[in-house]
Amino acid sequence: MNTTLPSFYIHTFGCQMNQADTEIMSSLLQAEGHLPAVDEDSAGVILLNSCAVRENAVDRIGNFLQQLKGRKRRRKGLVVGVVGCVPQFEREQMFTDFPFIDFIAGPDTYRSLSSMIVNARETSRIANLEYDHRETYAGIDPVRSGRISAFLPVMRGCNNSCAFCVVPVTRGRERSVSFGSVVDEAVKLAASGFREVTLLGQNVNSYLDAESGRDFAALLDAVSRSAPEMRIRFTTSHPKDISESLVRVIAERPNICNHIHLPVQSGSSRILDLMRRGHTREQYLDKIGMIRKLIPDVAITTDLIAGFCTETADDHRQTLSLMEEVRFDTSFMFYYSVRPGTWAARNLQDDVPEALKKARLQEIIDLQNTISSGLYRQEIGRTVEVLAESESRRSASELMGRTEANRAVVFSGNDFKPGDMVSVRITGASSATLTGQPA
Ligand code: SAM
Ligand code: SF4
């Protein structure tokens, strides 16, 4: 092993796909001979794996980089690299805004990370922002950060063109990991003691095995049969593409969680059309009807954006009424921020004032909290299966785990350990957490 290679420390921002990418980068760097550093202070190279989806996500990277500037000045030889979606999107502008950055690298270039780090010690301002539409990082054994639950990317990129979204710019065209690799990796995870796996993709319904033509429903079915002792989750489904055959697989296979994350973004068909989402409010509700018919106890979660271009008070009311109709378990809720390079940035005016966007978002959050509290209260008195994940933050004698619906449960845990599947009788509920006792 080359002991002169600098050790690395990675900060991860953003979505589950970024967390999975960090595990891939750790594996690639260790294979080249870099050691992981225990903290930033002892690292020879600090990497920021960045997210560009919303403006505040990009601002967070900026604030973080400002803090790194002093560290870089004090520590001669320290290499700083920004990788992931922000550099793919901001490109060389990053060197103008943060001149102390040594290199930038896009999501398709991680196989060359080690050489970029080595070269950065000689040459400054290296950029590798190539797209590689075949890169899936298949065959890389990720360095897993957990021991109970793992992320398993099944595809990368996105071929949709939602007007607000920068992902197709930052992550490029869709490509799927081969059917065999995904199934093999799931079997390996189960054999090494993992209890849960989440199959990841921006739009998993577009999964297509290039060789056999098999789709995501077939993949999910095969993974669940090959690793029957693991809980299987997946994200994200697109409402225009989720199929009855996929929902039937979820309904039939006992180890696939009865939980579907189905981002709707808005309850107004006019806004959905402007967002270029490819479905109306009515079509979304039809899909919800189909899902609930096949899986009556399913938990449905969503993403919502307040204040998209031209949104009126009536459009906003339609979002609230859709939330009341569907009764989402939980939601990820945002206010709209323009992302340069997107269709909306080029063609629409960001004309809802920020204060109004924030006020509408607050109404959405308040309504979601009321709905979640109601749904969670209905759980009191029931017994649910909980996968214990960790000690609870409140007390070492309590464990925190999740139900199939991904609801957090805190329960007295003296007789159990993380990784155990425990039947818990629910005795209390807030809008975000259930509490209970082992049954
Ligand atoms: N692929 C997923 C889908 O189609 O729903 C989600 C991708 S995106 C990383 C996650 C969420 O961020 C989106 O569902 C949307 O709610 C939100 N989002 C994306 N772009 C946004 C923007 N410009 N402003 C506010 N929220 C945004
Ligand atoms: Fe973005 Fe739409 Fe693709 Fe999701 S489906 S990543 S929101 S473009």
Measure 122 CA to ligand 1 centroid, in angstroms. Answer: 39
Q: 1: pLDDT confidence band, cut at 50, 70 and 90? A: very low
Q: Is residue 434 part of a domain?
A: yes
Q: Which ligand minimizes its atom distance to the CA of 303?
A: 1
Number of domains the chain is built from? 4
Structural contact between residues 168 and 133, judged by C-beta atoms closer than 8 angstroms: no
Single-letter amino acid, residue 388: A
Single-letter amino acid, residue 187: V
Query: Does one domain contain both 291 and 336?
Result: yes
Measure 245 CA to ligand 2 centroid, in angstroms. Answer: 22
Query: Does one domain contain both 362 and 268?
Result: yes
Burial (CB < 10 A; 0-12, 13-18, 19+), residue 345, is middle
Which DSSP string corresponds to 272-286? HHHTT-S--HHHHHH
Q: Which ligand minimizes its atom distance to the CA of 308?
A: 1
What separation in angstroms does the CA of 369 have from each of 320, 332, 375, 430?
12, 12, 10, 9
pLDDT in tens, 141-182: 999 989 999 999 999 999 999 999 999 999 999 999 999 999
CB contact set of 251 (below 8 Å; sequence gap of 6+): 258, 294, 295
**Domain end among 128, 154, 170:** 128
Can you tell me which atom of ligand 1 is nearest the CA of 335?
25
Please state whether beta strands 259-261 and 299-306 pair in parallel, antiparallel, or not at all (unpaired): parallel
Pocket of ligand 1 (CB under 6 A): 15, 53-54, 164-165, 167, 202-203, 236, 238, 263, 265, 303, 305, 334, 336-337, 339
Query: Does one domain contain both 101 and 16?
Result: yes
Rounded Cα–Cα distance for residues 29 and 279 (Å): 42
Could you tell me the pTM of the whole model?
0.95
Place of tokens 């080359």: 2
Can you tell me which atom of ligand 1 is nearest the CA of 17?
9
Each residue of 96-130: b (16+ CB within 10 Å) or e?
A: eebeebbbbbbbbbbbebbebbbebeeeeebbbbe
**Domain end among 99, 128, 157:** 128
Q: What is the CATH number of the domain that holds 417?
A: 2.40.50.140
In Å, how far from its chain's centre is CA 436? 28
pLDDT in tens, 391-416: 998 888 899 999 999 999 999 988 99
Pocket of ligand 2 (CB under 6 A): 158, 160, 162, 165, 167-168, 202-203, 238
Q: Per DSSP, which regions of 209-323 are E strands?
A: 231-235, 259-261, 299-306
Q: 4: pLDDT confidence band, cut at 50, 70 and 90? A: confident
Can you tell me which atom of ligand 1 is nearest the CA of 166?
20
Is the preceding omega at residue 310 within 30 degrees of 0, hence cis?
no
Query: Does one domain contain both 366 and 410?
Result: no
Query: Does one domain contain both 154 and 121?
Result: no
Please state whether beta strands 421-429 and 383-391 pair in parallel, antiparallel, or not at all (unpaired): antiparallel
SS3 228: coil
pLDDT in tens, 108-151: 999 999 999 999 988 879 999 999 999 999 889 999 989 999 99
Q: What is the mean pLDDT of the chain?
A: 95
Tell me what percent of the residues of the chain surpass a pLDDT of 70.
Answer: 99
Nearest CA to ligand 2 atom 4: 202
Nearest CA to ligand 2 atom 1: 165
Measure 343 CA to ligand 1 centroid, in angstroms. Answer: 14
Query: Does one domain contain both 234 and 300?
Result: no
Tokens of 209: 């095995």
Query: Does one domain contain both 361 and 278?
Result: yes
Query: Does one domain contain both 183 and 275?
Result: no
Q: Which domain holds residue 55?
A: 8-128
pLDDT in tens, 320-377: 999 999 999 999 999 999 999 999 999 999 999 999 999 999 999 999 999 999 999 9
Query: Does one domain contain both 367 and 393?
Result: no
pLDDT in tens, 54-91: 988 888 899 999 989 999 989 989 999 999 999 998 89
Structural contact between residues 147 and 193, judged by C-beta atoms closer than 8 angstroms: yes
